[in-house]
Structure 1
Amino acid sequence: MVREPLHAPVAHLIRGGLIEGTHYGSVVVLDGDGTVRFQLGDIEAAFYPRSALKPVQAVAMVRAGLPLDGELLSLAAASHSGEERHLAGARRILELAGVSEDALRNVPDMPFDPAVRDTWIREGRGPSRLAQNCSGKHAAMLYTCVLNDWPLEGYLDPTHPLQQAIAEIVEDLTGQRIARVTVDGCGAPLFSVSLHGLARAAARITAAAPGTPEARVADAMREHAEMASGAGRDVAALMKAVPGLLAKDGFEGVQVAALPDGRAVAVKISDGANRARVPVAAAALAWAGVSPDLLTEFQGEALLGGGLEVGRVRPVRSLEPVVSACA
């Protein structure tokens, strides 16, 4: 499992009818019963899901007693854009926990959304822990520690009770042992699993019985998609476009999505390119049985020449025929 991934071509840059470039990666599609319907590349090698693991982390915190629901629970699983509603939500979680922003240990950063960041800079504001895209998760981590009488100091240490509890649920929902532990961009522990395991975890979250921690997280993210991301973000648009879909992206070209009946997809683009992540994820969802009519806006980024469209980023043929056949 811990080895060099054997990625395969998953998307081409088509310009003027010719392949200008190729993105490599891996894709897995699961049926509702958990069997693999489609795979491409290497779905069993260990990799870091990055923020695509946040729904699992949120489930772990709810299992540990986190009482959030709705917008605030969605924010706990978010890679947010740094909009004022995101900052206000993170402050609210900290207020419920009875702690200040000083307790946060995520790295200070500017807002993730370029337009929000530009406004922030014009206003003379600098990096802050609250603006960093993982602040909702970190605020929820602190709240979970308070509720369990766990120390706030060192809450990001992999040996801390909070992180041990999260690691246990990662292994439970993915159905596999964590291969490696490192540090994510925000400073939190990052657990490596396989792409197959990530898809399995997403399926278990969306197919869980109503009222369970898994269902609460799925409901919160689906009903408040822009709190889990931001206005204009593709992952929020995807959840709005496909009824019942739970979707989460992660840095370095990771995407996971699952439907209430347990069908799930997971994508890793080896070079981390978002322009390949979106159309490959859409093609994988078509493989899972989602109508291509719901996925038309996610079919690939246009390539421009002289300001005009001269091509697109397209999934490779082994993905595309399913989209065409279902049209």
Structure 2
Amino acid sequence: MILAEVVRSGFAESVHHGSVVVLDTAGQVVAEAGDVTGPTFPRSSNKPLQTVGMLRAGLRTAEPADLALISGSHFGEPFHVARVRQILETAGLDESALRCPASLPLSEDERDIVLRDGRGAERILMNCSGKHAGMLATCVANGWPLDDYRDVKHPLQVTLAATVSELVGEPIAATGIDGCGAPVLGFSLTALARGFQRLVQAPPQSFERLVADTMRADPQLVAGTGEDDTRLMQGVPGLLAKGGAEGVVAVAVEGAGAVALKIEDGAMRARMPVLVSALRRLGVDAPVLEELATVPILGGGVRVGEVRTAW
């Protein structure tokens, strides 16, 4: 299904195919395109659901905001890195315990600073280091082994898989290895949307609601300054958002519904225009959505076209 088109100088240059599902507050499908029932890997959109599993397994953090970082894909800004260290130190660990791969920050500005300082890729700078710090802290709370915490058969990962399956209401269709080395769990886009909706509709004192509330309270910890997830949660009251690699994003809005989408070719630039179209079908509107409705195409530093929804 064609979801977005790239228009340059008035001509349709290319298109992006994909799948998207829109749910109302009752969890019923009100709009869909493509394959919304077959399994896909939501990639980092799994993280908030996995954080619920960590809390159920005994994770406790020094500050509630730590949960936003554990659930996010941070951009390596100083306040991100400091909070990852805090999570580890609270658990009696340091960054040497991390088993995610070394990386440079996703933030171009921070990447430049690291390189100018003569440093290089580090595990703590990797965008998933918050999740890995939370996983390690959960293992410490339970006395589980630390060296192999990423293994799909480790008690931590078994626990997280069971929690995610419960939250999305489907069995895990496939288990792969994500870019950070931890398991990534596959299920349908419809299940992903329902999982996010469950987080925002859960009772106030539940772990599900705690994760949703901390992410919405500190959206800059979920992604980074000026990034899509951060801007969405800052600009739309009650909205919970978490994107994933290869063109995935999941969103739920209290009192409106939920959306999950996947761009087939993995293009990240097509996600926001399609998401804006989906949210408008739920009656959600805000100035930030107008800002994200198109993505500029530049030629010689000048806007000569745009990526826009075709759905």
TM range (shorter): over 0.9
1:209 aligns with 2:192: no
Q: Give the gaps of 5 or more residues in structure 1.
A: 1-7, 320-327
SS at match of 2:195: helix
Pairwise CA distance, 1:100: 2.0
| Correspondence for 2:243 among 242, 245, 249 | 249
Aligned counterparts of 1:87 and 1:35: Cα–Cα separation in 2? 40
Could you say which residue in structure 1 is the equivalent of 2:85? 91
| Correspondence for 2:3 among 10, 31, 36 | 10
Residues 225-304 of structure 1: pairs in structure 2 closer than 5 A? 225-261=219-255, 263-291=257-285, 293-304=287-298
Could you say which residue in structure 2 is the equivalent of 1:125? 119
Could you say which residue in structure 2 is the equivalent of 1:55? 48
Q: What is the percentage of aligned positions where both structures have the same residue?
A: 47
Pairwise CA distance, 1:292: 5.4
| Correspondence for 1:188 among 182, 195, 198 | 182
Could you say which residue in structure 1 is the equivalent of 2:58? 65
Q: Residue 34 of structure 1 contacts residue 262 of structure 1 at CA under 8 Å; is this kept in 2?
A: no
Aligned counterparts of 1:307 and 1:95: Cα–Cα separation in 2? 45
Could you say which residue in structure 2 is the equivalent of 1:43? 36
Q: Residue 4 of structure 2 contacts residue 308 of structure 2 at CA under 8 Å; is this kept in 1?
A: yes
Pairwise CA distance, 1:269: 0.6
Aligned counterparts of 1:294 and 1:77: Cα–Cα separation in 2? 23
**1:70–1:262 distance in 2 versus 1, CA, 3 Å:** farther
Aligned counterparts of 1:92 and 1:306: Cα–Cα separation in 2? 44
Alpha-carbon displacement from aligned partner over 1:59-108 (angstroms, at most 9, x marks no partner): 11111121235321101111000111111101101111111222111111
Q: Residue 235 of structure 2 contacts residue 287 of structure 2 at CA under 8 Å; is this kept in 1?
A: no
Could you say which residue in structure 1 is the equivalent of 2:135? 141
**1:26–1:109 distance in 2 versus 1, CA, 3 Å:** same
Q: Residue 236 of structure 2 contacts residue 286 of structure 2 at CA under 8 Å; is this kept in 1?
A: no
Mean Cα displacement is larger for which, 292-301 or 219-228?
A: 292-301
Q: Residue 265 of structure 1 contacts residue 288 of structure 1 at CA under 8 Å; is this kept in 2?
A: no
1:200 aligns with 2:200: no
Pairwise CA distance, 1:293: 4.3
Cα RMSD over matched residues? 1.2
Code of the aligned partner of 1:172: E
Aligned counterparts of 1:204 and 1:26: Cα–Cα separation in 2? 21
SS at match of 2:294: coil
| Correspondence for 2:17 among 24, 32, 42 | 24
**1:102–1:305 distance in 2 versus 1, CA, 3 Å:** closer
Aligned counterparts of 1:33 and 1:291: Cα–Cα separation in 2? 20
**1:307–1:88 distance in 2 versus 1, CA, 3 Å:** closer
Give me the TM-score of the superposition, normalised by structure 2.
Answer: 0.97
Q: Residue 65 of structure 1 contacts residue 147 of structure 1 at CA under 8 Å; is this kept in 2?
A: yes
Could you say which residue in structure 1 is the equivalent of 2:71? 77
SS at match of 1:290: coil
Aligned counterparts of 1:70 and 1:97: Cα–Cα separation in 2? 15
Code of the aligned partner of 1:45: G
Give me the TM-score of the superposition, normalised by structure 1.
Answer: 0.92
**1:294–1:107 distance in 2 versus 1, CA, 3 Å:** closer
Pairwise CA distance, 1:153: 2.3
**Moved runs in structure 1, 4+ residues, more than 6 A?**
none
Mean Cα displacement is larger for which, 60-69 or 90-99?
A: 60-69
Aligned counterparts of 2:109 and 2:288: Cα–Cα separation in 1? 27
Mean Cα displacement is larger for which, 133-142 or 302-311?
A: 302-311
Alpha-carbon displacement from aligned partner over 1:45-68 (angstroms, at most 9, x marks no partner): 111101011000111111112123
Mean Cα displacement is larger for which, 191-200 or 145-154?
A: 145-154
SS at match of 2:124: coil
Q: Residue 303 of structure 1 contacts residue 310 of structure 1 at CA under 8 Å; is this kept in 2?
A: yes
